[in-house]
A and B are shown apart, each in its own frame.
Chain A
Amino acid sequence: MSIKFLEPSDFPEAAASLAEHGDEAKIIAGGVSVTLMLQQKLIAPPVLVSLGRIAGGDSIRQSSDGLHIGALAKLRNLEQSSVVQEWCPALAHAFRVVGNVRVRNQATIGGNLSAADYAADPPAMLIALGASAQVFGPDGKREVPLGEFFLGFYTTALRPTEILTGIIVPPLPTSARASYHKFSSISAEGRPCLAVGAVADFDADGRCRDLQIAIGAAVETPQRVDTAEAMARGESLTDELIAAIAEEYAQALDPLTDVRGSAWYRREMIRVFVGRVLKEVRDGNR
């Protein structure tokens, strides 16, 4: 099957190609999802717009307004980046537990987020960190908070002619701690049954100033529960409060059933792991 493989050198050129070819074009970043869909005959686009040669598309840099990650940054580079590790070890960990080394060498963060596979790891941690997606389209640039980026199974807020160009992770106060946990219910390998990412900021007395917890892989789109997070504000994270927050998460969310666990089991795991991750955040390091 012949296919036209375009390699634009910047995002505006890429967006222009997308606009020009319309339905006939599909973006390919790392190529993991796209290649699998091509192989399984789920898609057959005559044109592939590759983002592989976009200059600076994979940059990872710290700035005063946050951690800037280019959408084309490979998961493996993110996992091993000293910039990311310093910024937030839990975030580096969330990248590290994805799939296996080979997948991470190829998959990009942009591709990972755009695919909106519910059983993914990075989204939950990024949402807990308050990250936003930078999008480029025919109408110019816009930013979408990641909490609003995922609309449903394999569906994002990206319009057909838009491209995810990067992620910005806002600065974390030095008093904040984060933790990420991927729970695999069956084999040690494979996709998660549940993903929990948490970020908590503490005041000098050890009381929680702010808390964000995002759940992924157990629900259709990664989610936070505002009411549960609010319970922590101004409070000490005692075991009892942690249990109550975990219970609130378990009740508020509507988990799904798949080969890795039933909705019932996932609800139980949400309770268990929100609790465990909060204790890690409370007791551990960044």
Chain B
Amino acid sequence: MAIGRSVPMLDAPARVTGTVDYMINLRLPDMLVGKVVRSQSPHAKLLKVDVSQALHVPGVVAILTGPDLGANALYGASIKDQAVVALDRVRYVGEPIAAIAAESMDAAEEAAMLLDIEYEELPAVFDALEAVQTGAPILHEKYTDNIFIHSKLRHSDMETAFAEADEIFEDVFTSPLAQQSSLEPHVTAARWEGDHLTVWTGSQAPFMVRRVLSEILGIPQESVRIIVPPLGGAYGGKGHIRIEPLVAVMARKTGGRPVKFVLSRAEEFVTVTKHAASITLKTGVKRDGTFTARQVTIYWNGGAYADASPLLVPQGMVRSVGPYRIPAVRVDSYGIYTNLPPAGAYRGAMSSQATWAYESQMDIIARRMGWDPLEFRLKNLYVSGDRFATGETLHDVHFIECLQAAAGAMPAGPSPEVNKEKKVGRGYGVMMKSTVSTSKSQARVKLDDSGVATLFTSTVEMGQGAHTAMAQITAGALDIPFEQVRVVGPDTSVTPFDSTTSASRSTNMMGNAVLAAGAAMKRRLIDLAGPLLEIPGEELRAEGGRVLTKDASISYADILKRNGLPSLEELGEYSTALTMDPETGQGISTPHWHQGAGAAEVEVDTETGKITILRYAAASFAGRVVNPRLAQLQNDGNVIFGLGPALMEEMALDGGQVTNPNLADYPIPSIRDVPLELISVCIESEEGELHGIGEMTLPPVAPAIANAVEDAVGVRIKDLPITAEKVLHALQERLKP
């Protein structure tokens, strides 16, 4: 049985020999290279963009600027506020003003230096809390308070609920601007053939790209073909449309020659970021250890354009409540414009910042009330059947199991005392995350007369092993050997619709679509086999690559051959369309919940503030695990990734300019940053449904570490990242009389 086996990734040999065809390797005949020319000002009127001198550089084929854009110059996932290249205004340092297509990068760079650009500076604002104040610079006329989206959740009467509390806690937690930092940058190539456009791009959402491009270009979606090879990492940064519009429009000026844009590492930092966020949690508790109310206010720094935020901010609202029974909940989740690069999804989208807040506050509450942080959690964690703050009933939730699994991996015995000699402490974090509420996945399975099955899927392979998992599910659905399955895609002209590969939705949703296709295929095979075996369909079953009954059987391949069919195809689909009331957030927010927990044991050097993670245990609920090794890799990988925002990742800014746009000054976790001991547990449920595992163990990392630091040395850090300097500063403040 293929499902449940740790088979190697389908293209594992290519991965160890460096022959994977990443976007960065794409070469097309007659290809030009592209370069983006970017704004040096955080906020300005664009008075002049003169390309005349630049056009004379030998090797330059075409230059794209605002005037080239047609009627649909503005686009956006929801709010169309972003121009393909700047029209009359720039709103962040790094915003594309022009694009150059040339025979060589040298020519493009020479031309870039010859562009004559004039700005009229405007006041700029970079902090979300400042941006909403009266008098702050306004980025988009329609939004005079710079708030472009306000998602609301209203569940029960807050005033009464807070009145019932014995203690009320109010804390502010912040997360800084950060960057997804996939090792492969954004790479996109485009080629026009008449009115048909082909775009090769490193994107997690090919059909979203297709739709938006068709809108911008004013051509039918069928005229746009999006092809996505395996990605060198994405982590949400490639989850929404990025440079595809610029590249597609640029390619219209090259006389049919394809043009490829490869962003540099520095450009990555001005292309998409992780929302900086300030989260205020006001929580009421009773002395009996239960909650009465929680009020959440989140300011998400969306950057200069709405971009993906209108999709993410409502999700952030749902993800900010936490996995505990709280009768009254109110959330206000704001998306705010500032003169920074646009923010998008970053692994554990919105949950990363939200879990930092609610799990940190759990320990603040526990300590002040004299409760054990672990017991306080276990007492209040949701169980199946409970109702969430949206009113929906929770099913298949295993938070308690996750937390117990993580905590259980810690050394036995009471926490060490906080004193000068022993600086070791323990902390926990639990995460509750929704996935995409409305989306659709289709899968097409083709069986040929040699018995080989090909799965056509638009799920993107970005290292998580999605194609391998889908192949295993296909094999399981048809009950044929894994080795007989091939996977094709994504290619929007060939593979059927999928909303997106993100929010850890694919194993569940595409997986279910594959199961549906497989079930349909089995039924079809039975129908075709019946007459051949002269046995009624109801007595037949499809098993082990054959249609059979007790006394007779025929292989799938023979069924096709004897029917004169070279192949059979079946389409499967799985979708959810869940809605919430726009004023109250009541409804159903997710088809199922993602659950993860972490336990950290840290040592703090009280003289330097430096944190060493001695042991970290991560547990996630994985439902029915398709590939145990790949699931473990995801669990481990998420913890290691999570060390970044927890301890080291922070974009530095000066007047809106990113001053550390490189991996030397913006560190990401290295092999020596890994906890001395890392334990990971996937809690499975054999009868359960297929479940996502792409993000679960990441968000608990930061609060678990902060909680362990408080346990060790009695200081509370509320602003990420938890640096040695912050810890030392807090230690010294605490010792002051």
Q: Could you tell me the distance between the alpha carbons of A63 and B652 in the complex, rounded to whole angstroms?
A: 48
- A190 CB-CB contact with B under 8 Å: yes
Nearest chain-A residue to B113 (Cβ)? A41
Nearest chain-B residue to A261 (Cβ)? B725
- Of the 9-residue stretches A49-57, A149-157, A179-187, which lies at the interface with chain B? A179-187
Q: Could you tell me the distance between the alpha carbons of A265 and B723 in the complex, rounded to whole angstroms?
A: 11
Q: Assess the B652–A259 pair: CB atoms within 8 A.
A: yes
- Count of CB-CB pairs between chains A and B under 8 Å: 49
> Do A185 and B670 contact each other (CB < 8 Å), given the known contacts A1-B106, A272-B608?
no
Interface residues of B in 699-725 (CB under 8 A from A): 723-725
Q: Assess the A188–B673 pair: CB atoms within 8 A.
A: yes
Min CB–CB distance A98 → chain B (angstroms): 13
Q: Could you tell me the distance between the alpha carbons of A1 and B670 in the complex, rounded to whole angstroms?
A: 35
Q: Assess the B725–A187 pair: CB atoms within 8 A.
A: no
Partner of B667, one of A187, A262, A269, A272: A187
- A68 CB-CB contact with B under 8 Å: no
Q: Give the number of chain B interface residues (Cβ < 8 Å).
A: 25
Q: Assess the A188–B109 pair: CB atoms within 8 A.
A: no
Q: Assess the B109–A259 pair: CB atoms within 8 A.
A: no
Q: Could you tell me the distance between the alpha carbons of A191 and B729 in the complex, rounded to whole angstroms?
A: 22
Min CB–CB distance B268 → chain A (angstroms): 15
Interface residues of A in 236-253 (CB under 8 A from B): none
> Do A41 and B109 contact each other (CB < 8 Å), given the known contacts A185-B610, A259-B665?
yes
- B660 CB-CB contact with A under 8 Å: yes
Min CB–CB distance A273 → chain B (angstroms): 8
- A235 CB-CB contact with B under 8 Å: no
Q: Assess the B660–A259 pair: CB atoms within 8 A.
A: yes
Partner of A186, one of B607, B667, B728, B729: B667
Q: Could you tell me the distance between the alpha carbons of A236 and B630 in the complex, rounded to whole angstroms?
A: 59
Q: Could you tell me the distance between the alpha carbons of A71 and B608 in the complex, rounded to whole angstroms?
A: 35
Min CB–CB distance A181 → chain B (angstroms): 11
- A220 CB-CB contact with B under 8 Å: no
Nearest chain-B residue to A191 (Cβ)? B664
- A7 CB-CB contact with B under 8 Å: no
Q: Assess the B106–A189 pair: CB atoms within 8 A.
A: no
Q: Could you tell me the distance between the alpha carbons of A188 and B667 in the complex, rounded to whole angstroms?
A: 9
- A280 CB-CB contact with B under 8 Å: no
Chain B residues contacting A229 (CB-CB under 8 Å) are none
Partner of A265, one of B664, B665, B728: B728
- A210 CB-CB contact with B under 8 Å: no
> Do A272 and B725 contact each other (CB < 8 Å), given the known contacts A41-B109, A187-B670?
no
> Do A188 and B652 contact each other (CB < 8 Å), given the known contacts A259-B665, A269-B608, A272-B607?
no
Chain B residues contacting A183 (CB-CB under 8 Å) are 608
Partner of B724, one of A185, A190, A264: A185
Min CB–CB distance A84 → chain B (angstroms): 24
Nearest chain-B residue to A1 (Cβ)? B106
Q: Could you tell me the distance between the alpha carbons of A272 and B610 in the complex, rounded to whole angstroms?
A: 12
Type the 1/0 row for A177-203, where 1 means its CB is closer than 8 Å to any CB of B: 000000101111111000000000000
Q: Assess the B669–A187 pair: CB atoms within 8 A.
A: yes
Chain B residues contacting A188 (CB-CB under 8 Å) are 670, 672-673
Chain A residues contacting B669 (CB-CB under 8 Å) are 187
Q: Could you tell me the distance between the alpha carbons of A90 and B669 in the complex, rounded to whole angstroms?
A: 27
Type the 1/0 row for B595-612, where 1 means its CB is closer than 8 Å to any CB of A: 000000000000110100
Q: Could you tell me the distance between the alpha carbons of A213 and B470 in the complex, rounded to whole angstroms?
A: 61
- B276 CB-CB contact with A under 8 Å: no
Which of A187, A264, A269 has the most chain B CB within a 10 Å cutoff? A187
- B128 CB-CB contact with A under 8 Å: no
Q: Assess the A186–B647 pair: CB atoms within 8 A.
A: yes
- B648 CB-CB contact with A under 8 Å: yes
> Do A190 and B728 contact each other (CB < 8 Å), given the known contacts A269-B608, A272-B607?
no
Q: Could you tell me the distance between the alpha carbons of A187 and B608 in the complex, rounded to whole angstroms?
A: 14
Which of B668, B673, B725 has the most chain A CB within a 10 Å cutoff? B725
Chain A residues contacting B647 (CB-CB under 8 Å) are 186-187
> Do A265 and B672 contact each other (CB < 8 Å), given the known contacts A183-B608, A186-B648?
no
Q: Assess the A262–B648 pair: CB atoms within 8 A.
A: no
Q: Assess the A189–B672 pair: CB atoms within 8 A.
A: yes
Min CB–CB distance A246 → chain B (angstroms): 11
Chain B residues contacting A185 (CB-CB under 8 Å) are 608, 610, 723-725
Min CB–CB distance A250 → chain B (angstroms): 13
Q: Assess the A190–B667 pair: CB atoms within 8 A.
A: yes
Chain A residues contacting B668 (CB-CB under 8 Å) are 187
Chain A residues contacting B724 (CB-CB under 8 Å) are 185-186, 265
Q: Assess the B610–A187 pair: CB atoms within 8 A.
A: no
Min CB–CB distance A276 → chain B (angstroms): 8
Nearest chain-A residue to B106 (Cβ)? A1
Min CB–CB distance A50 → chain B (angstroms): 22
Nearest chain-A residue to B650 (Cβ)? A259
Q: Could you tell me the distance between the alpha carbons of A187 and B725 in the complex, rounded to whole angstroms?
A: 13
Q: Could you tell me the distance between the alpha carbons of A187 and B667 in the complex, rounded to whole angstroms?
A: 6
Q: Could you tell me the distance between the alpha carbons of A265 and B610 in the complex, rounded to whole angstroms?
A: 12
Q: Assess the A186–B664 pair: CB atoms within 8 A.
A: no
Q: Could you tell me the distance between the alpha carbons of A262 and B652 in the complex, rounded to whole angstroms?
A: 13
Q: Assess the B728–A268 pair: CB atoms within 8 A.
A: yes
Partner of B664, one of A1, A190, A261, A262: A190
Interface residues of A in 139-154 (CB under 8 A from B): none
Min CB–CB distance A48 → chain B (angstroms): 17
Q: Could you tell me the distance between the alpha carbons of A65 and B610 in the complex, rounded to whole angstroms?
A: 42
Chain B residues contacting A259 (CB-CB under 8 Å) are 650, 652, 659-660, 665-666
Chain B residues contacting A261 (CB-CB under 8 Å) are 725
Chain A residues contacting B725 (CB-CB under 8 Å) are 185, 261-262, 265
Chain A residues contacting B723 (CB-CB under 8 Å) are 185-186
Min CB–CB distance B668 → chain A (angstroms): 8
Interface residues of B in 452-471 (CB under 8 A from A): none
Nearest chain-A residue to B672 (Cβ)? A188
Chain B residues contacting A191 (CB-CB under 8 Å) are 664
Q: Could you tell me the distance between the alpha carbons of A265 and B669 in the complex, rounded to whole angstroms?
A: 22
Chain B residues contacting A186 (CB-CB under 8 Å) are 647-648, 667, 723-724
Which of A261, A264, A268 has the most chain B CB within a 10 Å cutoff? A268
Which of A185, A186, A189, A268 has the most chain B CB within a 10 Å cutoff? A186
Q: Could you tell me the distance between the alpha carbons of A262 and B725 in the complex, rounded to whole angstroms?
A: 8
Q: Assess the B608–A189 pair: CB atoms within 8 A.
A: no
Min CB–CB distance B368 → chain A (angstroms): 29
Nearest chain-A residue to B643 (Cβ)? A187
Q: Could you tell me the distance between the alpha carbons of A269 and B732 in the complex, rounded to whole angstroms?
A: 13
Min CB–CB distance A217 → chain B (angstroms): 14
Q: Could you tell me the distance between the alpha carbons of A284 and B333 in the complex, rounded to whole angstroms?
A: 57
Q: Could you tell me the distance between the alpha carbons of A265 and B732 in the complex, rounded to whole angstroms?
A: 11
Q: Assess the B665–A189 pair: CB atoms within 8 A.
A: no
Min CB–CB distance B120 → chain A (angstroms): 28
> Do A189 and B728 contact each other (CB < 8 Å), given the known contacts A272-B607, A272-B608?
no
Type the 1/0 row for A251-277, where 1 means its CB is closer than 8 Å to any CB of B: 000000001011011001100100000
Nearest chain-B residue to A184 (Cβ)? B610
Type the 1/0 row for A1-16, where 1 means its CB is closer than 8 Å to any CB of B: 1000000000000000
Q: Give 5 pairs: A residue, B residue, CB < 8 Å, sorted on A.
A: A186-B723, A187-B647, A187-B668, A187-B673, A190-B667
Binding site for A on B (CB under 8 A): 106, 109, 607-608, 610, 647-648, 650, 652, 659-660, 664-670, 672-673, 723-725, 728-729
5 tightest CB-CB pairs across the interface, nearest first?
A: A187-B667, A188-B672, A265-B725, A189-B670, A272-B607
Known: A186-B648, A259-B659, A268-B608. 9 other contacts (CB 8 A): A185-B608, A185-B724, A186-B667, A259-B666, A265-B725, A265-B728, A265-B729, A268-B728, A272-B608
Binding site for B on A (CB under 8 A): 1, 41, 183, 185-191, 259, 261-262, 264-265, 268-269, 272
